[in-house]
Structure 1
Amino acid sequence: MKRWILMAACLACLLGCGKNAPETQTANNVEPTPAMEASGAVSARPVKDVRPTPADVLSGTNWPAAEVASGKAWISCEHDVGAGDGTPVQSLDFFSVVDVMTPCREPGTIRVRYRGKIAADFTALVERMSAMADRMEIKRRILDIDSSGGRVEDAIRAGDAIGNAGWTLWVREDAVCHSACVLILASGDDRLISGKVGIHRMVRIGSKASNRAELSSELRDVHESMKEYLERNGASVAVADLMMTVPNRQLRILTVDELKEFGLDGANAAQDDLERIRLARRCGEDFPARMDAFAIAFDSECKAEGRALEEVKECGLALQPRFGFPDGKCVAEGPMSDYQ
């Protein structure tokens, strides 16, 4: 089950997220021009004006023209990063997506590697990959992201698409997830973080503010929308408040403890509630309790700073039998089911 795909590994692999004290880095200079959209957290229009692609459109074949232009994307049918990033993706028309995802149908795994800005084309990417994965019944879905941020409104829209489609999110040790990307991180069913996660204040594109009160008024609606979004995705609304205190020219790196406190690492709390109910109903009342016991043991026995992801995986696989996994009735729901 997606809820448990990398739950224990998420606890073990927060190797590069931060230190015991908050870390601040200098970000690229920000100018009041469109160049500021290259990274960071920017807002350009009311969130209420940003709407998801209608389900009846995605269920058909006549998809609006779109392509990946704000970054680079690849599709792999393997969770193992050693196999490479996979096939490059640019066109997001229906038949191009069919072609690139068809090889993933039999293994039942898709890993989308994305490096770039959070923008409307990124939203289209995750919406369309999710819709096609549903059609092809590809259950294991991983978004392997490396992004310095982008538009808040597009991040909220993309995050809602991710949250409704059962994705695990990765931030590798050589990747980052900054500013608006943190909203994407909040949406995953599970989060595996080895890279840096950072936040700072959003900037309003085309702002007409001449004083702090006017600027605050301009940002109020999008700030409230961010808080509502975080809340429905099981993350702390304190993230939105903290973002407003860090100058846009700087970057506050969140520590391991802060990521846990804000609900941005490991299993998503909101999804956890839903899946515990489903697990107990389908696999037996003791199944969730055994999953919890496994996660605690994995944290204490497999967690080690600097340990490679493959070592963590092998440790988890060896630990399973102690807790009755793989479970004969619900093999696919087990804590390391992706690695069986």
Structure 2
Amino acid sequence: MDAEHEAVELGTQTQPLATGTPAGEGVLSFLNEYSISLSVLDQEVPLNALAAQALIDFREGPDGVLRTGDDRRFVSIEQVDVVPYVGPAALAALEAYAKGTGRVELPVDGHVGTFHGVAFNMAEARRAIHAANTESASNLQTLFGIPAAAVQSLVAARPILHMVQLSRLTNVNAVTMGQLKAHTQQAAEGDPCTGPGICQPGLICEGRPGDGSSPYGRCVDASYLSGNGDVCSRFVACPSEKLICIGLASGWVEGYCAPAWMGASFIEYSDLRLQSTNPLVTAPLTVVGLATVPMDINVELDVVHTAPHRLVLTLEDPGGETALLWDGPNEGTPPSRIVVTRGIPRDGVINGRWKLHVANPSGVGSGTLRSWTLKLTSRYD
């Protein structure tokens, strides 16, 4: 099959596929499944036939038979990349297939893929598949405007489990995919939104960045909750699961209750090389869907380095304010979790592009920033 054309049809990579990222782990999990056959790789992904055969040959081991003692498994994307006939096009096709079949953990606004020319994020894909599985044939044809032949294919295929299956049904084309997306736009609580009128009744679109780093906010229920503003602590919980205790993550003894949507975690699988010859590198991360200003700011690091005590870490908020997270030459090896209590004001911007700057002024040692997580709570200014 035409692997390059199909890879573009499913979707394209936004950054190189890397070991340790959700996409990388999804691809490895897929390739290591015993049920994955040559025909699946060649026809369904699809890959070039030579690349598909080479991947199967690797899995089978020296005896050329799967499910025997010398079977091999892929443990890194680098290992996949050196298999004969596997290159950027094959890796892109594998990533697109893994995302489209639900093997990759994505945020609600994460790009699942482009199917028959129609792009879907995770929330849109879930709503489209839900409609394809639950709407009556009459509604799909008359309300959604989907051609009768495609409706028959949708109904006959139920349950439809993922976007690749949906997009490859007989008679399903750009019209069907476009209508499913267009008629399932009312977003539920927590789903991404791009402005007024997108969210379901009773919800508002909150937390769209003003710096252009993302078009999305989140649909939230901004109505009053009983207990909002109550005092809370490690021993005194907020009166509802829809409330969180703001302040505890900063070390406060006493905090206050606020709607749960005002707190969230954001993770960036950067796989950023920290080389001794490059004294400063930056890993960006985009925050959306919170209120207007930060309260609790916690940073969690996954760093592997030969001289971590040489690193100097700085956090920058979307407004350009900075906080010195850790001064390795004076403070030693950075911990995996850092509570930010200095530098960044609590009346600055929270939604938008945050940056983690990793400096190595001594030029000693090397390693990798595999990922970093920003855990935030917020309030209205």
Fold shared, TM-score > 0.5 on shorter chain: no
| Bigger Rg over Cα | 2
- Structure ranking higher on relative contact order (CA contacts 8 Å, 6+ apart): 1
User: What interval of TM-score do these two structures reach, taking the shorter chain for normalisation?
Assistant: under 0.3
Q: Larger helix proportion, structure 1 or 2? A: 1
Q: Larger strand proportion, structure 1 or 2? A: 2
TM-score scaled to structure 1, two decimals?
Answer: 0.25
